[in-house]
Amino acid sequence: MFKKYDAYKNSGIDWIGEIPASWDVKRLKAPLAERNEKNDPIKTDFILSLTMHQGVIPQSEKTGGGNKPKEDLTAYKLARPNDIVLNSMNVIVGSVGLSKYFGVVSPVYYMLYVRDESKTNIGYYNYIFQSQAFQKNLGRLGTGILIKKSEASGKLNTIRMKISMDDLNNELLPIPSFCEQNEIVDFLDRKTLEIDQAIAIKEQQIALLNERKQIVIQKVVTQGLDPNVPMKDSGVEWIGEIPEHWKISKIRYLGATQNGISAGGDYFGTGHPFVSYGDVYKNRVLPETVEGLAKSTLSDQKSFSIQEGDIFFTRTSETIDEIGFASVCFKTIENAVFAGFLIRFRPFLKSPLIKEFSKYYFSSPMMRAYFVKEMNLVIRASLSQELLKNLDVLLPSIKEQKEISEYLDDLTDKIENAVLIKYSEIDKLKEYKTTLINDAVTGKIKVA
């Protein structure tokens, strides 16, 4: 339990409420100034990026490529070590960080530095910008809301709200003494590091659980449940040995493929159910109720229908990493159509492949390895029907497929429940971190 200050007073600031009686209230422009230095003439070609989770980082760490400029860097602004860098479009959702580098940033960023280092700890003000209470408060200053219609789902999304530097300059902030600022920064540096480390451990545990799940799925859908069954070479390099009595077939002999519907933006947003790229990418089993809507005709609904047993594959994306994900339809969605970014595979009547087995087989890691190896990436990654038709499918007996799916249902339920518990623990840690930052920078707790 943290201590409180001896006396408090009304700050006159809605998002803060009461502050310690010894603290002051001043506008942001009193302790901080904007650094508005252009990179003209060129002083550096070291490009910085700002991310919500990593803060200010070299662009090469974000992209994985070289730190090479792709445009005229004279339009960029300079950021120096110990500058607060914030995105004028996204600061209200936490796009802000303290720079450790000398580099250039996008013209939409603001850089703030302290006017007097003998009276001001920049870290304290960085933590104010990290406070969700302060970020929420800044929402009232946002202008120029940008609305964008998603091509895949037809939904309208609010993207950004720009905040002017003039408005920021006039925001009232709590001002502790320089000594207290140092104590708050030292406390929050230590505590947030401990919390971040605890979160990282739980994220690693989640990754290991998910990895174990994928390993078991792949082993069971290729080798079955009986460890003593005689094995044979499948004849497919990426599959390896399989049970001797299992069959194998190209998917082209098991059903028919069909690309989804392509239409302009006006087609989406109202009308009948529309299965989007996201519905398939995020789910092993297709949701029975989807959010997307499309103005589909009866002809569209006949050609691009969604029936029980259908398997949908993500067909095209900016990167190869998002291609070939599969989702199985367990219940027919009436009057629905599906996106042009998808391929539908519809098994023939009396197919030797059941939907319960399909949901695990087509989501196994070896499927991803197959698609990545075989696909040609030019401008956009794309899965062709011909490549999909050439996919090898293992066919245990219907009885074995049911046994395998029941075993995997039980195992994945247990693992996914364990993962949910870890996510819940992470959420509580993040909530604690948020509360700690807010309480420390507003004087609700005394840290020393």
Instruction: Please report, to the nearest 10 degrees, the dihedral formed by the alpha carbons of residues 312, 316, 319, 320 taken in order.
Output: 60
Contact of 314 with 383, CB cutoff 8 Å = yes
Question: Which among 141, 130, 136 is positioned nearest to 97, based on CA atoms?
Answer: 130
In a domain, 174, yes or no: no
**Residue appearing with tokens 């709590």:** 174
Q: Residue 61: what pLDDT? A: 63
In a domain, 192, yes or no: no
Contact of 109 with 72, CB cutoff 8 Å = no
In a domain, 195, yes or no: no
Question: Which among 215, 237, 110 is positioned nearest to 162, based on CA atoms?
Answer: 110
**CATH code of the domain containing 356:** 3.90.220.20
Contact of 375 with 387, CB cutoff 8 Å = yes
Q: Residue 153: what pLDDT? A: 43
Q: Residue 62: what pLDDT? A: 57
Whether residues 251 and 400 share a domain: the answer is yes
Q: Residue 28: what pLDDT? A: 96
Whether residues 351 and 247 share a domain: the answer is yes
Whether residues 137 and 216 share a domain: the answer is no
**Across the 448 residues of the chain, what is the mean pLDDT of every consecutive 10-residue run?**
93 93 96 92 89 84 50 87 90 87 91 94 95 89 58 48 88 96 97 97 97 95 95 92 96 96 92 95 94 95 96 84 90 96 94 95 86 64 86 96 97 97 97 96 94
In a domain, 446, yes or no: no
Whether residues 238 and 370 share a domain: the answer is yes
In a domain, 157, yes or no: no
Whether residues 100 and 229 share a domain: the answer is no
Which two structure tokens, joined as six digits, stand for 126?
């960085």
- Is the preceding peptide bond at 230 cis, omega within 30 degrees of 0? no
Distances (CA, A) of 298 to 216, 282, 295: 43, 28, 10
Whether residues 230 and 116 share a domain: the answer is no
Whether residues 121 and 252 share a domain: the answer is no
Q: Residue 300: what pLDDT? A: 96
**What is the count of structural domains for the chain?**
2
CB proximity list for 72: less than 8 A, separation 6 or greater = none
Whether residues 93 and 238 share a domain: the answer is no
In a domain, 251, yes or no: yes
Q: Residue 301: what pLDDT? A: 96
The amino acid that residue 195 corresponds to is: I
Whether residues 111 and 16 share a domain: the answer is yes
Q: Which residue range(s) make up the domain with 286?
A: 212-413
**CATH code of the domain containing 90:** 3.90.220
Whether residues 238 and 128 share a domain: the answer is no
Of 124, 143, 162, the residue that ends a domain is 143
Contact of 447 with 184, CB cutoff 8 Å = yes
CB atoms within 10 A of CB 109: 23
Convert the chain into a string of H (helix), E (strand) and C (coil).
Answer: CCECCCCEEECCCCCCCEEECCCEEEECCCCEEEECCECCCCCCCCEEEEECCCEEEEHHHHHCCCCCCCCCHHHCEEECCCCEEEECCCHHHCCEEECCCCEEECCCEEEEEECCCCCCCHHHHHHHHHCHHHHHHHHHHCECCCEEECCCCCCEEECCCECCHHHHHCCEEEECCHHHHHHHHHHHHHHHHHHHHHHHHHHHHHHHHHHHHHHHHHHHHHHCCCCCCCEEECCCCCCCEEECCCEEEEHHHCEEEEECECCCHHHEEEEEEEECHHHHHCCCECCCCCCCEECCCHHHHHHCCECCCCEEEECEECCHHHCCCEEECCCCECCCEEECCEEEEEECCCCCCCHHHHHHHCCCHHHHHHHHHHCCCCCCEECCHHHHHCCEEEECCHHHHHHHHHHHHHHHHHHHHHHHHHHHHHHHHHHHHHHHHHHHHCCCCECC
Whether residues 227 and 112 share a domain: the answer is no
Q: Residue 163: what pLDDT? A: 86
CB proximity list for 264: less than 8 A, separation 6 or greater = none
Q: Residue 66: what pLDDT? A: 45
Q: Give the integer Cα–Cα distance in Å for 370 and 159.
A: 36
Of 90, 121, 143, the residue that ends a domain is 143
Over the stretch 115-137, which tens digit does the pLDDT of each residue have?
Answer: 999 999 999 999 999 999 998 88
Q: Residue 65: what pLDDT? A: 44
Whether residues 402 and 260 share a domain: the answer is yes
Q: Give the integer Cα–Cα distance in Å for 201 and 61.
A: 22
The amino acid that residue 311 corresponds to is: I
The amino acid that residue 125 corresponds to is: Y
Longest dimension (CA), the chain: 81
